Structure 1
Amino acid sequence: MLHLDAAATSPVREEALAAAWPFLTASFGNPSSTHGLGEQASAALADARKAVAAVLGCRSSEVVFTSGGTEANNLAIKGIALGNPRGRHLVTSRVEHESVLASADYLARLHGFEVTFVDVDAAGLVSEESLAAALREDTTLVSLATANNEVGTVQDIPALVAVAQASGVPFHTDAIQAAGSLDVSMTATGVDAVSLSGHKLGAPKGVGVLAVRSRLPLEPLIHGGGQERGRRSGTENVAFAVAFAVALRLADADRRAEAEHRPPSSIGDLPASPRDVFVADVLSRIPAARLTGHASARLPRHASFVLPGVNGETVLLELERRGVLASAGAACAAGHDEPSHVLLALGIPEDDARTALRFTWGASTTSLDLGGVAETLAAVFETVTALSRSSTLH
């Protein structure tokens, strides 16, 4: 079975599991305890925090461990917006992850915020001009993802950060889908806050990080014992924090090694093929298929399409029957009947949005594998189309 749903999750790296295991067994102490086991756990947590900070280009005191990317986004948006006395105005876009959109809705409903959804083009890109036009004197935060999880489009974050910071507005980015593929360090992007998720990097599910500059007030969402410097109370998950640090370090090392062997791109550090070869192969085999997202400013191991005229779910089931695991889009929104809000925001008709397919893969997937997937997808499309015609005739 070939797993091409890496954007949904990734297997736990052996090194991350090995690093975490002692803190699930013999070294089980509470890091707030003052005895030996507690001090051992506290030291491991501090080391993990330093390792994460080294990759993200921030101080270790600016790293907050969370339960995952969704909590990190919630803490960033609600915490920074509510902690900023500047005003009650938030800027984001309609192609963001549900955790961002739901947090913005929460602020609007319960705290009187106004939310401006900055325009995106047909590929999902935000322009500097659109962002500048959306900013106001009372804007407390801009939150835009580094890379879109559904269509793979990569924003020019440093340019957008410059626009926001010229007006004195903090900038948060959801880099959950980009980490491990792009340089998401705060020194490279210039952002004031960045969210990451462990299970997209090879750590276990249930751990994430929000890195936020210490100059920004951050209103906590969870109150209690004052852990994480009062920003996220609750006994810390030392084992998973350790695993996260190892997975992030290894993912970033892999990214840097790959970057040395590929030419630079116009936006960020985006590699070309085998992604581009796969996209071209699919489009040549299935003339009706359309690529979603930007053709070049997109994640290196991400290809997404709409296949007008077929049922996307039927195609996915048939692909799995033939040994290929893919998805229709965001796994976080799985189980909903509504078409993707991202595709609708890009102007894709609702019927076409229901035919969406997303292929995302890890470093072990070869060009030969992708060529086989393109061939299989073409055969599945032909089969499903024939069945659809047959049922229409009868």
Structure 2
Amino acid sequence: MGKYIYMDNSATTPVKQEVLDEMLPYFNIKYGNPSSIYSLGSQSKNAVEISREKIAKVLNAKTKEIFFTAGGSESDNWALKGVAFANKDKGNHIITSKIEHHGILHTCEYLKKQGFDITYLDVDEYGLIDLDQLKEAITDKTILISIMFANNEIGTIQPIEEVSRIAKEKGVYFHTDAVQAVGHIEIDVNELNIDLLSMSAHKFYGPKGIGALYIRQGVKIDPLISGGAQEGNRRAGTENLPSIVGMAKAIELAYENLNENNARLIKLRDKLIDKILKNIDYVRLNGHPINRLPGNVNVCFEFIEGESLLLSLDMEGIAASSGSACTSGSLEPSHVLLAIGLPHEIAHGSLRLSLGDFNTEEEVDFVVEKLIEIVARLRAMSPLYEKIKEGK
């Protein structure tokens, strides 16, 4: 096998060398516990607060509004459970959408068992929520609206400013799962009137196992973990110092040349989409054609299974992912693809190619070349495709 081509950057990204270099001293040289009062501990505490300040600056938030977590799922859980239980005297109604990450959907399922009422908004064929449906769904018992910033599968970017305005007008807290957006899109939490925002470092070339939850000052929310005074008495436990430092460096790098990097990614993304649609028949682009993440390409190929496609690509040295959950042992296709109206048989043939900072035009050309070959080979084994070709 030659060069390995990685096109699954929405799943995770490699840690950039500059990030790793920034982290290393905090493993065995500057390793003090930030809660200790001696100089080594104070040095660590200072590193945590400088990191918090760097992340806050990118989001135009206050430093004390950034709380470190173990990642996006934990941040989502804290936002929903924390607000729900802290505000249950006001109401028990939460609004979200049908295409959220499972970190949101499974938390909502848990809250429903605890007596909370959950409304799941529909989406259109592009994955966009209906703002009128959102307005109609709000009641005097609504305490939280949680709508993701950008979808992890199809890349569609939601009208976050409009959603937050509706929430603000009704006096309802607004949370957004921005795990796929932070590091890739400009986000100003004040301009967008966001109350809570989830993020995860490994989506923008930082380490795994570290994330953060932005909590606007004044939001009523229960602590996540009890036991110590860390994170403003809201999340006990000794801080993950190297990863916190790495996350801050990664987010700094992500926003240094964001517009330039995104312009390059969009060019690659559009080239990849164009070549796939022009060279392969019976293929559909999923997600919004314009309002989508810079590096996201999600397509469905009829008459083939996504799992077979992924395995074939891997044999060619290409890493990608499928919207179908069959690779995780389930026969059900992606809930996102079903929500945008795709029938099961088409949703099963989905492929997500997510581009990143290290992908090139040559890689795009190679991937399309291999896709043409693989799709043709897999379809040759499909009796249904043969009948379609024969016009039957």
The aligned residue for residue 34 of structure 1 is: 37
Alignment RMSD, CA only? 2.0
Partner of 2:195: 192
Find the aligned partners of 1:18 and 1:132 in 2 and give their Cα distance. Answer: 48
2:91 is equivalent to residue 97 of structure 1: no
Distance 1:330 1:144 in 2: 22
CA pair 291-274 structure 1, distance change in 2 beyond 3 A: same
Q: Does residue 312 of structure 1 match 2:312?
A: no
TM-superposed CA distance for 1:329, in Å, is 3.2
Query: How far off its partner does 1:170 sit?
Result: 1.1
1:278-313 deviations in Å (ceiling 9; x for gaps): 112111111111111111111111100111111111
Structure 2 stretches lacking a partner, 5+ long:
388-392
Q: 1:171-226 deviations in whole A, cap 9, x for unaligned?
A: 11111111222112313422111110011111111000101101101112311113
Q: Equivalent of 1:53, from 53, 56, 66?
A: 56
| Counterpart for residue 270 of structure 2 | 276
Query: 1:345 — aligned with what?
Result: 339
Hey, what does 1:206 align to over in structure 2? 209
Gaps of 5+ in 1: 263-270
User: Contact 2:324/2:333 (CA < 8 Å) preserved in 1?
Assistant: no
Could you tell me the TM-score, scaled by structure 1's length? 0.92
Shift of 1:45: 0.5
8 Å Cα contact 2:122/2:339 also seen in 1: no
The residue number in structure 1 matching 2:354 is: 360
**Residue 300 in structure 1 maps to residue 304 in structure 2:** no
What do residues 116-165 of structure 1 show as CA deviations (whole Å, max 9, x unaligned)?
11121111101321211111111111001110001111111111111111
Distance (Å, rounded) in 1 between the aligned partners of 2:296 and 2:256: 20
Residue 273 of structure 1 and its aligned partner are, at CA, apart by 2.8
1:107 paired residue number: 111
Report 1:156-175 matches (<5 A). 156-175=159-178
Q: How does 1:1-394 map to 2 (within 5 A)?
A: 1-84=4-87, 85-110=89-114, 112-258=115-261, 272-329=266-323, 334-389=328-383
Give the structure-2-normalised TM-score: 0.93
Look up the equivalent residue of 2:308 and give its one-letter code: T
Deviation readout 1:345-390 (Å, 9 max, x if unpaired): 1111112211111000112212332122122111110011113349
Structure-1 residue corresponding to 2:390? none
Q: Is the 8 A contact 1:8 1:330 kept in 2?
A: no
- Count of equivalent residues: 382
Contact 2:150 2:292 survives alignment (8 Å)? yes
Q: CA separation in 2, counterparts of 1:139 and 1:195?
A: 20
Tell me how far apart the structure 1 counterparts of residues 316 and 249 of structure 2 sit (CA, whole Å): 35
* CA distance, structure 2, for counterparts of residue 390 and residue 129 of structure 1: 41
Asked if 1 retains the 8 angstrom alpha-carbon contact of 2:76 and 2:103, the reply is yes
CA shift digits 1:326-351 (9 cap, x unpaired): 110389x9454421111111111112
Letter of the structure 1 residue corresponding to residue 200 of structure 2: S
Any runs of at least 4 consecutive aligned residues in structure 1 with deviations exceeding 3 A, and if so which?
Answer: 256-259, 333-337, 388-393
The percentage of counterpart residues that share the same residue type is 38
Letter in 2 for 1:254: N
